[in-house]
A and B are shown apart, each in its own frame.
Chain A
Amino acid sequence: MITIRGLNIDLREFQLRNINLEIRENEFFILMGPTGAGKTVLLEAIAGLVPIKTGEIYIGDRHVTGLPPEKRDISIVYQDYALFPHLTVMDNITYGLHFHKIDKREARERLAQLLDVLNLSHLQQRLPANLSGGEKQRVSVARALMVNPRVLLLDEPLSALDPGFREEVRGSLKRLHRTSSVTFLMVTHDFAEALSLAGRAAVMNEGRIEQVGSIQDIFQRPSSTFVADFVGMKNLFASNFKDTRAVVQGLEVELGREAANRRGYIAIRPEDIVISRDALTSSMRNSFRGVVIGMLDQGFYYEVHVRAGNLTFKSLITKRSVFELELQEGNDVFLSFKSAAVHTF
């Protein structure tokens, strides 16, 4: 649906290097990465809003690299809504109709449907200044979909919203994607958001694409230390592999399988590590003795740091478990995890 080949961009603040990407028809694709990774630049390049140095962009089977934004059949939704402040909600939503030849009846039906799905009917005559953040973003989405684009580009559409509104707009996006044939391409720096929306995703860092794949794949099988860290694999160690084991600074971790390379990394999610006072007799193949050296309060959870050998493991456990284990800094504990929880690359 969207094909990007050998894309290079040189702006003053941002550079994109050799971007190759394939986005399929009607998928919900997410571009992830930390602030400054170049996600928005890539989005705007697809929209035709930033000059590109080399490379080709196709939307559908149309070569759009040289086309201005208005000829690309795309719509864009920004984090700061970018509603036209001098136009009412209704005039904002129907703005694109001035420039598209859309059948009147079809337009009216789509308008009614969008007003309904996005719950905007009662706001039609308001000006953007008198809307809440969630309402503004819903208007912005309606305006973008009103012209029936082939691709909807979303630039961190949820980031500026309060948690309550975020939930609500996220739900709307999901519904709209399911009921339309539009391809959604969304940028976010929030992995949890990506997990709840995306089919496939790409992780970007410093102007490059680090990994592309299904969201589960990226979550469970990060292909680089950067991606692992980005998706919350807080236990990340350089290691040597021997048979079915990884040797990390003297500590032997059972993988239950042979690693592809002789050297690499192992990564374990903090929520996959169990902490106990006594050695566990369970199916978990890896169990080490260690000392609690730190406990960080994270709301419902504690991030517990356990020193085992020369390594510091990070485990996420509920406050309730901390209370039941009477866990304190300096305690001797066991930490255990399944071999399947260990990711290698």
Chain B
Amino acid sequence: MRREPFFWITVSCGLVIMAFIIIPLIQLITAPSLEMLKETVQDKNVVRSIWLSMYTAGLAALISFVLGTPLAYLLARSDFRGKRLVEGIIDLPIAIPHPVVGIAILSVAGRNHWFGQLLGELGIRVMGSVTGIVTVLTFVGIPFYLNATKAGFEAISPRLEKVSRSLGASMFSTFTRITFPLARRSMLIGIIMCCARAISEFGAVVIVAYHPMIAPVLIYERFEAYGLRYSQPVAVWLVSISLILFLLLRILTLHKVEEE
């Protein structure tokens, strides 16, 4: 069959985009020699920063999961005045420039604000601490969790919950036995998106906490101080480890969903 010109336009645009995304990444991954990669992974600073990136992002996702799930459910199931506004506010962190996020958080958590003073009295430090990093990462990551999970809840017919209630289950039992298992996949996608967003954050973190150093900040520092060649191996390790983790998570859960 002869294809129309339009078909070839769509294909060539697709190829350009694929190349645009893949070529720099391949270049990045193949640039450092194996020896340099090995040397980098033995560097305690590198290991520490990648580990810090991983677990702060994980904590951000955990906080999003605990606090965000009920809100996502509320937004999916009920209609109230100002719902659009709430949804708009949730999307704000996506739109705000990253350094601005950092500045905004510092202006509340800093010493010049009563909230910052209160935190200080409680012994909680945001500036230059793991707490600060997790705060920033949750701020930028939670919209992704909320939106994915809300879509998941919306896809579940409210009738399933109604039937469950009529069969004697309380609201809570209905949520744990019906809604939660059915939304699990969307929640997991939300967690992965939230983590991915958190791991990639640089601009907001660098303002709140240059030290302790997360991987993107370390990569930036090495680039500034020693140049491209020295930042590449760290980047390769960060990208590979994140990709493998996400892949594993997806395979594990998709597999489970299909079994059911």
Contact = CB atoms under 8 A, between A and B. Distances in A.
Interface of A: 44, 47-49, 68-70, 72, 74-76, 78, 80, 82, 84-86, 95-96, 98-100, 127, 143-144, 147, 153
A82 B182 contact: no
A49 B167 contact: no
Given A75-B167, A82-B157, A85-B182, A99 B162 contact: no
B168 A70 contact: yes
Residue among B167, B173, B178 having the largest count of chain A Cβ atoms under 10 Å: B167
B161 to A, nearest CB: 9
B159 interface: yes
Contact of A82 (B159, B168, B177): B159
B162 A44 contact: yes
B167 A143 contact: yes
A84 B173 CA distance: 14
Given A70-B169, A98-B173, A143-B167, A86 B162 contact: no
A82 B170 contact: no
A82 B168 CA distance: 16
A74 B162 CA distance: 11
B167 A99 contact: yes
B227 interface: no
Residue among B159, B162, B168, B182 having the largest count of chain A Cβ atoms under 10 Å: B168
B129 interface: no
B159 A96 contact: no
15 contacts: A47-B166, A75-B166, A75-B167, A76-B163, A82-B159, A82-B160, A82-B162, A85-B182, A86-B260, A95-B177, A96-B168, A98-B177, A100-B168, A144-B166, A153-B166
Contacts of B178: 84
B164 interface: yes
Nearest to B174: A70
B235 to A, nearest CB: 41
A282 to B, nearest CB: 54
B168 A84 contact: no
B160 A96 contact: no
